[in-house]
Chain A
Amino acid sequence: MNGRERILASIQGQPTGRLPLMPITMMFAADQIGARYLDYVTDYRVLAEGQMRTAEKFGFDYVSAISDPAREPADLGAAIEFFPDQPPAVIEDRALLADKTRLAALRVPDPLAGRRMSDRVHGVALLKQRAGGDLLVEGWVEGPCAEAADLRGINTLMVDFYDDPAFVDDLFEFTVAMELEFAKAQIQAGADIIGVGDAAASLVGPKFYQGHVWAYEKKLIQGIHDLGAKVRLHICGNTRRILEGMGRTGADIVDLDYLAPVAAARAAMGPRQVLLGNLEPVGVLRNGSPEIVRDTVAACHRDAGENYIAGAGCEVCRDTPEANLRALCEYAHVSR
């Protein structure tokens, strides 16, 4: 059974042989091939090389086109700052939708127009070609809340929930339409699964998550399923209070950051939900020892029981000792 088959089997609730393994790497993967992060996010060949080499070296079951949240905003014309060796970022002071009325005129960009979104689509195609069906290929889009935060400015969006909830819904509606187009292009390029990153959703609290965010996440996930791909929902931060809702979005895999206990997620989402996580990227994976990493992932596995995929709560930090990451991988390689 290869990595791709293993993850797909896990999603179907079938036997997987051993634990599937899906840690998120971005800057870590760039460092593995000695590439500057700026090149990783602007040249899909660098990203594909970093992903392939890292997956091979550590025995991951998948590769991913995840890189930074500024691709869609860039193609919409938002002001972006690029850094030589860090992820590019949206400039919040000059947010595209600082003026709310601009939303009405916003059009979904063509994901194949040769800009930043296309670079990711090309990355997916190259990963598909290079992985040759052995590794699962993951595309990536932003979730409704994260993308809305990037377009409106996260500090402003948080207050919009009270000031103008109708605008928030309209903005979410737009982001879902855009992310579905982006997902479609990546699926057509060969993505087996689409990661939906909705970090900002962990900040809004259960009331707004249930009242606004959840329905749009569900719509996006349903849309991706209709396009024929699987979905991994990744909300970093403290999701303890919204776990139950996350389990009802229909996501095939739900990621847990370290602040959301695996046992609580299992209780909230039931035995069939595939859970992924949740080693603390800094405190355990980066600063711990191989023994601590092994004990921690074993505890996660025990709390999750069946339907579990090994991984960290969020991106593996760039300066993580290789021996620590190896300890996580080796645990998955020998456990069932």
Chain B
Amino acid sequence: MPELRELYDAILNGDHKTSAAVTREAIDAGIEPMELVSGYMVPAMDEVGKRFECEDYFIPELLLSARAMKAALELLRPLLAASGAKSAGRVVIGTVKGDLHDIGKNIVGAMLEGGGFEVIDLGADVAPQKFIAAIKERNPQLICLSALLTVTMPSMKTTIEAFKEAGVRDGVKVIVGGAPVTAEFAREIGADGFGENATAAVALARQLLQAA
């Protein structure tokens, strides 16, 4: 019987090899994939987020933990799909047109994945049409837009307006974030929410999709 606490520790410590090894053992021992996700992986990523907020962890630690979490998730994904386990929701994420900053977006994506969401990452410098195509093809419930430049913040507005024009706005929730973005700006451009950091992004996603 694998020591599942090791999965939590491996993710917290950013050890992707151990995280994959423990996950493999757990699968072999017939443990429910969902138990691993919600019992160990989600709490580990929650703790990672907390440590980042209180400046105990920095970007290297965050990306290391994200990698360890993903190593476990890769192994679990086929099983989760086969078992028909319900994901917390399907999310499309990207940095908006004109903006190449993707570290924050990657971390938010990883934390959402760690939080049990299915995440489709469109990358950086994503045109509104590309988001719209993803909405039509993949049918997500939530869209996450990231921007780090004041000059690309208007792209968030353009993107949301393009959703309306394409008739897809009402079918999804849209949340925004990135260093210069504020809650007030989010309201102004008609987004459904704003998250200060990745932990807030996960909480917001849970709240919005529950209400939906």
Q: How many A-B residue pairs have CB under 8 A?
A: 49
- Does B188 reach chain A (CB closer than 8 Å)? no
Interface of chain B residues 168 through 194 with chain A (CB within 8 A)? 180
- Does A319 reach chain B (CB closer than 8 Å)? yes
A98 CA to B14 CA, complexed, in Å: 21
Report chain B residues within 8 Å CB of A319.
150-151
Report chain A residues within 8 Å CB of B64.
159, 162
Asked whether A155 lies within 8 Å of B103 as measured between CB atoms, the reply is yes
Q: How far is the CB of A35 from the nearest CB of chain B, in Å?
A: 16
- Does A154 reach chain B (CB closer than 8 Å)? yes
Asked whether B150 lies within 8 Å of A158 as measured between CB atoms, the reply is no
Given contacts A89-B100, A205-B58, A205-B61, contact A318 B151 (CB under 8 A): yes
Main SS at interface, chain B? loop
Asked whether A208 lies within 8 Å of B60 as measured between CB atoms, the reply is yes
Asked whether A203 lies within 8 Å of B150 as measured between CB atoms, the reply is no
Interface of chain B residues 34 through 80 with chain A (CB within 8 A)? 55, 57-61, 63-64, 67
- Does A204 reach chain B (CB closer than 8 Å)? yes
Q: How far is the CB of A268 from the nearest CB of chain B, in Å?
A: 15
Q: How far is the CB of B123 from the nearest CB of chain A, in Å?
A: 8
B10-42 vs A, Cβ < 8 Å mask (1 yes, 0 no):
000010000000000000000000000000000
Count B interface residues, CB 8 Å.
18
Report chain B residues within 8 Å CB of A282.
150, 180
Interface of chain B residues 138 through 177 with chain A (CB within 8 A)? 150-151
Count A interface residues, CB 8 Å.
22
- Does A317 reach chain B (CB closer than 8 Å)? yes
A159 CA to B107 CA, complexed, in Å: 13
Report chain A residues within 8 Å CB of B199.
none
- Does A286 reach chain B (CB closer than 8 Å)? yes
Asked whether A204 lies within 8 Å of B180 as measured between CB atoms, the reply is no
Interface of chain A residues 45 through 102 with chain B (CB within 8 A)? 83, 86, 89, 92
Asked whether B98 lies within 8 Å of A158 as measured between CB atoms, the reply is no
Q: CB < 8 Å: which of A27, A89, A154, A317 contacts B103?
A: A154
Q: CB < 8 Å: which of A92, A155, A318 contacts B63?
A: A155
Asked whether B106 lies within 8 Å of A155 as measured between CB atoms, the reply is yes
- Does A36 reach chain B (CB closer than 8 Å)? no
Report chain B residues within 8 Å CB of A154.
103
Interface of chain B residues 95 through 137 with chain A (CB within 8 A)? 98, 100, 102-103, 106
Q: How far is the CB of A8 from the nearest CB of chain B, in Å?
A: 33
Interface centre among B55, B59, B64 (most CB of A within 10 A): B59
Asked whether A241 lies within 8 Å of B55 as measured between CB atoms, the reply is yes
Q: CB < 8 Å: which of B14, B57, B103 contacts A162?
A: B14
A218 CA to B94 CA, complexed, in Å: 37
Q: How far is the CB of B65 from the nearest CB of chain A, in Å?
A: 10
A273-296 vs B, Cβ < 8 Å mask (1 yes, 0 no):
000000000100010000000000
Q: CB < 8 Å: which of B57, B100, B150 contacts A286?
A: B150
Report chain A residues within 8 Å CB of B151.
27, 86, 317-319
Q: Which residues on A are within 8 Å of B, measured CB to CB?
A: 27, 83, 86, 89, 92, 154-155, 158-159, 161-162, 203-205, 207-208, 241, 282, 286, 317-319
9 closest Cβ pairs, A-B complex: A205-B58, A203-B59, A158-B60, A161-B60, A158-B63, A158-B59, A89-B100, A282-B180, A159-B63
Q: Which residues on B are within 8 Å of A, measured CB to CB?
A: 14, 55, 57-61, 63-64, 67, 98, 100, 102-103, 106, 150-151, 180
